[in-house]
Amino acid sequence: MDSKLTADDFDWLRKLKAAADAKRGDPPPIPMNIAAKLVTFGFSKPDSSGAFTITAKGRDALLEQDMRDAEDR
């Protein structure tokens, strides 16, 4: 796991990915402290309505995290 991101941060990133994959226009409201962190890392970005969406970099980070988690099992 990225040393500056917590499991909670990755959980929210997964929620954003799920909303984007389902093409829902109403992603879950993300806590601003987590949103700010994900934006800082380039993992999410605000859309035109002010909601946050996952970026390609965020999808890559989730894939890497999931692979690390699988190795730990």
What is the spatial distance between Cα 41 and Cα 12, in angstroms, rounded to a whole number?
A: 14
22 or 24, greater pLDDT: 22
For residue 2, being part of any structural domain is answered with: no
- pLDDT value at 27 more than 50: yes
Domain with 46 in it: 7-72
pTM: 0.83
C-alpha triplet 38, 35, 64: angle, nearest 5°: 30
Alpha helices in 1-73 (DSSP H): 7-21, 32-40, 56-72
Q: Which two tokens stand for residue 40?
A: 């800082």
Q: What is the pLDDT of residues 32-55, one digit of tens each?
A: 999 999 999 999 999 888 889 999
Among 67, 35, 34, CA closest to 51: 35
For residue 1, being part of any structural domain is answered with: no
Query: What CA–CA distances, in Å, run from 1 to 9, 21, 43?
Result: 10, 23, 14
For residue 22, being part of any structural domain is answered with: yes
Determine the pLDDT at residue 23: 84
Structural domains of the chain, count: 1
For residue 68, being part of any structural domain is answered with: yes
For residue 12, being part of any structural domain is answered with: yes
For residue 25, being part of any structural domain is answered with: yes
Determine the pLDDT at residue 64: 92
